[in-house]
Amino acid sequence: MKAHIIAVASQKGGVAKSTTSLNLAAVYQKIHGYKTAVVDMDAQGHIAKQLGLDKDKFENTMVDVLLDGLPIRKARYVTDFGFHIYPANITLSALSIESAKDNHKYPHPNHLLSQAMDALRGDYDYIFIDTPPSLDAPTLNALVASDSVLVPVHTEYLGADGLVELVDAINRVHVNDGAHCELMGVVATLHMEYRAHNMEMLKELKIYCEQKGYKVYDTFIRRAIMMAEAARRGVPGVLYDPKAAVTHDFINLSKEMLSNGTK
């Protein structure tokens, strides 16, 4: 087993990065039978939060792994749903400054996650990395550690704004850090298919991405009130309501991702 690592990234806030990471991990595990995990690289700690866990009560979190060299398996938390998470909280906000300030201790600050995750490659089929809404150290670490990058885009005006900067960041870590991650695709999120504006934005997104040569998945993830309810109850939406339309969206997305050769 050699895990395929997928970073879910976008510097735009609130586009469903955390929701997508969590629900895809649940679908890959529950529907496809893969062993999965989510690594949280966002100091907001939304992975733990969306699972109803107190992000400040973990004995070990990603900051201990990245800055203090704690073996990553010691930050593993086994969820009630089968998949594992590697949680983060506000303490992770020290990463950017601390890793840049001590060249001796951190000679390759963008490689901290990649090096730590080497130990996990044998433990899973798929690992999703949730990233913060920025292109700073946590996201750069996620890009360097990953094989593929999935980009959620909200089908709103300016939704695709920032896609170019993300692709630039991917190219930069290739050159500067020897990274090998590839943009696997763009997925439309928080979509309302009955709303003309969203349909228009989806059409524009597809045209724009086609021009740039970026793949857009046929599946879009619909906005559903159930998702907020599920998050409040600490259950991934796809497990909270297996029959919901949005659950089928995540399943269809996972099938498209799998058929596009991520393994």
Ligand X SMILES: Nc1ncnc2c1ncn2[C@@H]1O[C@H](COP(=O)(O)OP(=O)(O)OP(=O)(O)O)[C@@H](O)[C@H]1O
Residue numbers at the binding site for ligand X (CB under 6 A): 13-19, 42, 44, 46, 132-133, 190, 221, 223-224, 227-228, 231, 246
> Judged by CB under 5 A, does residue 46 bind Mg ion?
yes
**Residue 90 or 228 with smaller CB distance to ligand X:** 228
> Judged by CB under 5 A, does residue 30 bind Mg ion?
no
In the list 4, 12, 17, 222, the residue contacting Mg ion (rule: CB under 5 A) is 17
Q: How far is the CB of 32 from Mg ion (least distance, A)?
A: 23
> Judged by CB under 5 A, does residue 111 bind Mg ion?
no
CA distance 87 to 59: 10
> Judged by CB under 5 A, does residue 154 bind Mg ion?
no
CB 24 within 8 A of CB 254: yes
Which residues touch 224 (CB under 8 Å, ≥6 apart)? Answer: 237, 244, 245, 246
Q: How far is the CB of 191 from ligand X (least distance, A)?
A: 8
Stretch that binds Mg ion, among 23-31, 46-54, 104-112, 254-262 (CB under 5 A): 46-54
Q: How far is the CB of 104 from ligand X (least distance, A)?
A: 32
- Nearest residue to 213 (alpha-carbon basis) of 255, 167, 259, 253: 167
